[in-house]
Amino acid sequence: MRVGLGYDVHKLVEGRKLIIGGVDIPHEKGLLGHSDADVLTHAVMDSILGALGLGDIGKHFPDTDSKYKGIDSIILLENVYNLIISNGYEIGNIDCTIIAQIPKMAPFIDNMRKNISNALKTDLKNVNVKATTEEGLGFTGAKEGISAQSICLLVKVDN
């Protein structure tokens, strides 16, 4: 078994879609980033890459590479899934937290879980997503950005 921890943060700006967990969430602002800036999916990928001991998403999908400009992060997560399999592991479970003052995430969490579990070819019960606010504190509380945390357990596949 191997465990990895992931964290990501992006600034909220006008003129961008708000994509979290592969879900397009209606909101007047979106997240700034080279890809679609899907903060949750980025945290999940970092937790998996950490568990595999393979660095982080910046190493695998650098923001200096134009082929990742605006890319759907769920596609990147599918690439990370291939690394899981090629290294002889499978998902044990993933637990995530989105930290955002606004918008409310509860209506979208089921779809986020489905998107992540589908990309990782794992049972829905192996992916948990929660959301919280910071009670008006910090950059997320001031509605300047959104962050996400993820922890992942990978289990060695018996051959």
* Full DSSP string of the chain: -EEEEEEEEEEEETTS-EEETTEEE--S-EE-SSS---HHHHHHHHHHHHHHT---HHHHS-TT-GGGTT--HHHHHHHHHHHHHHTTEEEEEEEEEEE-SSS--GGGHHHHHHHHHHHTT--GGGEEEEEE--TT-HHHHTTSEEEEEEEEEEEEPP-
Give the bridge partners for 5, in sequence order. Answer: 151
Mean pLDDT of 35-54: 97
% of the chain residues with pLDDT over 90:
90
Is pLDDT of 159 > 70? no
If phi over 0 gives left and psi between -120 and 50 gives alpha, with beta otherwise, what is residue 30?
beta
Contact 126, 155 (CB under 8 A): no
Q: How far apart are CA 74 and CA 84, in angstroms?
A: 15
Contact 6, 149 (CB under 8 A): yes
Is pLDDT of 131 > 80? yes
Is pLDDT of 52 > 80? yes
Name which of 104, 111, 89 is nearest 41 in CA terms. Answer: 111
Q: Which pLDDT belongs to residue 11?
A: 96
pLDDT category at 10 given cuts 50, 70, 90 is very high
Mean pLDDT of 99-121: 97
Mean pLDDT of 147-152: 98
Mean pLDDT of 127-153: 94
Contact 69, 34 (CB under 8 A): yes
Mean pLDDT of 103-122: 97
What does the pLDDT look like over 61-89, one tens digit per residue? 988 989 999 899 999 999 999 999 999 99
Specify binding-site residues.
8-10, 34-35, 42, 56-58, 61-65, 100-106, 132-135, 139
62 vs 120 pLDDT, higher one: 120
- Predicted structure pTM score: 0.96
Domains present along the chain, CATH in parentheses: 2-156 (3.30.1330.50)
pLDDT category at 94 given cuts 50, 70, 90 is very high
Specify binding-site residues for a divalent metal cation.
8, 10, 42
Q: Which pLDDT belongs to residue 6?
A: 98
